[in-house]
Amino acid sequence: MSAVAVQISGLTKAFGTNHVLRGIDLELFKGEVTVLMGANGAGKSTLVKVICGVHAADQGEIRLHGRVIKSSSPSDAIASGIVTVHQNINDGVIPDLDVASNLMLDELAKPSGGFFLKRNKIHADAEKLAQSIGLNVDVTIPVQELALADRQLVAIARAMAHEPELLILDEPTSSLSSIEADRLFELLDRLRDKGVAILYISHRTSDIQRMADRIVAMRDGEIVGTFTEKPLDYNAAVNSMLGQSMADAHLDIKQQGAPVLQVENLQIRENAPKISFTVGEDEVVAITGLVGAGKSKLAAILYGLEKPVSGSMTLKGAPFAPKSARHAIDTGVFMCAKDRGTNGVLQDHNLTKNITAPFLARYSTFSFLNKRAEDAKTRKTINDLSIVCQTEHDDIGTLSGGNQQKIMVGRWLSEPSTLLILDEPFQGVDIKARRDIGEKIRETAKGRATIVMASEMDEVMEIADRIIVLSDADIVGEHMNQDLNLKKIISEVAGMGTKSDTQKQANG
């Protein structure tokens, strides 16, 4: 057995009367990846924040290689050898600074530092660090101009620069393509071989199967199960973290109804093929593919945030070319964007404002807001999606990441729409929350067309009536969610399917 790197004993943390951590005892071992699983609100994020110095524990202690660690700030934790990559990417990067400055920020902060004096060296060192994890970007451009996946890799590369003794990663692959995730896994393999202890928070089966040496389940602020026997029992860990067994999801597959959205010869980026598809009333269509396949680009076009290169769209038979998100909303087209921290959550606002913000005109009479109606709508959303909170007046920042995600989805389910687009709606949520969200999406689907952009096949299979596979901005597969040939779909997702295959399938 490996040596204990981190010993956590009797750790407690409460916020007022809310006891979030209830005597956590946990060992993390040198050269091992411990996967921490827990339902949203179980206390995972609070535990991480205590370990990395964001919060002080009320009781208990943390030992790293036998020495007691008392971190009063993240910088203290980093100096002790504990480095964290948070789920919220903006917690790990400074968007206004360029890539090189983000990667070498700690070097620049030294008294001997100085960007203008050492620009060439800083850039060279930053490029070397970026290349070590397969991050191929211009290090002179601002981080805010990078794609979401590249920003995630910058945060991870910055963490690597500290040569941690304990590395904590919170849902690190949520924005990464399979190729980028594989590069991360290879890097973690090297760190594991060097004896680094790794605490990896994830609910993704593929991540856990690839990386876990052990699984620890957490529920209601306590450790409730540790799984070390190979092969690791993922289902038992899920049941332990939920306190109940999860039945398989069963869908009543709907056939395509009357056309709502019709897309004709749409070219979503330069030099890409032209795509055509239809989404019918009452139907839930999942569009799947790797990160970078064009799913979010297509969603942005449907929502009026971007323009297609060419092609046309109709909505219930009328020409549809939204000029803006506001125009789309007014037309009855809603979109729940991915990356809730940047594109969804209204920070420093309560749950009610986060739910009703796009629809304030519907709660107003002569410029006077009907706050009672707003609150009632929010309470209904909280109940419908089983959101864990105190009241509708809670600040959004007090909720766990998964419950924030439920609020974002609930916002767009709270009012009727003609077309609902959800871009990675299950990002960063546990399997129970995923089922809650998926059931509510399907339960409310009558009378509208619904498109769900999703990368994970288990998510797709639990939500869709029909599955469209996108690869390199082209439709390469289309399947009813019945008697699926998973090998064929996975090959299409990987770019090994062809349009001729799709046409043969469509022709029977």
Please work out, in degrees rounded to the nearest 5, the angle formed at the alpha carbon of residue 287 by the alpha carbons of 281 and 291: 155
- Sequence-separated (6 or more) residues with CB below 8 Å from residue 123: 100, 139, 140
CB 454 within 8 A of CB 463: yes
- How confident is the model over 30-41, as pLDDT tens digits? 999 999 998 877
Burial 71-82 (b: 16+ CB within 10 A, else e): beebeebbebbb
Pair of tokens at residue 469: 């596979």
In this prediction, residue 56 carries a pLDDT of 92
pTM: 0.73
In this prediction, residue 248 carries a pLDDT of 65
Q: Residue 286's CB: how many other CB atoms inside 10 A?
A: 25
Walk me through the domains of the chain, giving residue ranges and CATH numbers: 259-349+418-506 (3.40.50.300)
Cα distance between residue 328 and residue 321, in whole Å: 9
Burial 444-482 (b: 16+ CB within 10 A, else e): bbeebbbbbbbbbbebbbbbbbbbbbbbebbbbbbbebe
CB 308 within 8 A of CB 266: yes
Pair of tokens at residue 34: 């411990």
- Sequence-separated (6 or more) residues with CB below 8 Å from residue 454: 286, 287, 288, 424, 425, 426, 460, 463
CB 412 within 8 A of CB 428: no
Pair of tokens at residue 1: 């057995």
- How confident is the model over 355-378, as pLDDT tens digits? 998 898 888 877 788 899 999 999
In this prediction, residue 243 carries a pLDDT of 84
At 196, the amino acid letter reads V
> CA end-to-end span of the chain, whole Å?
56
Parallel, antiparallel or unpaired: strands 284-288 and 449-454: parallel
Cα distance between residue 98 and residue 145, in whole Å: 9
In this prediction, residue 433 carries a pLDDT of 84
At 495, the amino acid letter reads G
In this prediction, residue 497 carries a pLDDT of 56
Cα distance between residue 342 and residue 344, in whole Å: 6
Taking the CA atoms of 413, 369, 363 and 386 in sequence, report the sign of the dihedral they define. Answer: positive
Helix (H) / strand (E) containing 184: helix 178-193
In this prediction, residue 245 carries a pLDDT of 73
Which stretches of the chain score pLDDT less than 50?
Answer: 115, 500-508
Q: What is the DSSP letter of 2?
A: P
